[in-house]
Amino acid sequence: MKKAMPPAAVAATVIAIAIAAFFAGATFSSSFQGKSYGCSVQTLFSPGAEPAIVSLFSSSSKSISVEIYEFSYTPLSEELERKAAGGVGVRVILDRTVNSNYATARDLAAKGVLVRFAPEHFTRLHSKFAVIDSSTVLVGSTNWSFHAMFLNREAAVSISGCDAVSDFTSTFEEDWAASEPFLS
């Protein structure tokens, strides 16, 4: 009898395959332990990923949940602020050790975005992901800074229609519950 893979192992496997998917094209369907994972995957490489990231945020109608190490790139914060003003629930968890995150936290909070700082039991919140409408996850190496958008080689994927999205949603909710609210 085959032993089922734990959900975290399945998610890690799916994400590893998704990151490598650019070798085979932008959409793939795989099967793990008899369970079908028909995921839509879009690869994003910087320089050049900013329009696709803004488009993902722009497409949101319900919620955007972000967990990010460094967030200092104004056009992305402005898009999150615009979505929050339009009724989309926007929550952001930032790393407290990155000085530029404090200005971003102030700006986001002033425009209706809920902001928290990651739990202190993490040495670093090195995550770089966003969950859009509980159906799409953006994950990769990309910080949300000018350097990451225009000068660094960064790699990320947008994954839709896959069980792995729920793993990111659960992780975000767990981290949100353990995070400290930003008080301006």
Map out the domains of the chain as residue ranges.
43-181
Which two three-digit tokens encode residue 117?
Answer: 């700082």
* Residue 62 C-alpha from the chain's centroid: 15
Which two three-digit tokens encode residue 58?
Answer: 């722009």
pTM value is: 0.80
* CA 15/CA 46 separation, integer angstroms: 18
CATH of 43-181, one of 3.40.630.10, 3.30.1490.20, 1.20.1080.10, 3.30.870.10: 3.30.870.10
The number of helix segments (H) and strand segments (E) in the chain equals 6, 9
Per-residue pLDDT 10s for the chain (184 aa) are 445 544 444 444 445 444 444 333 444 333 333 334 568 999 999 999 999 999 999 999 999 999 999 999 999 999 999 999 999 999 999 999 999 999 999 999 999 999 999 988 888 889 999 999 999 999 999 999 999 999 999 999 999 988 889 999 999 999 999 999 988 7
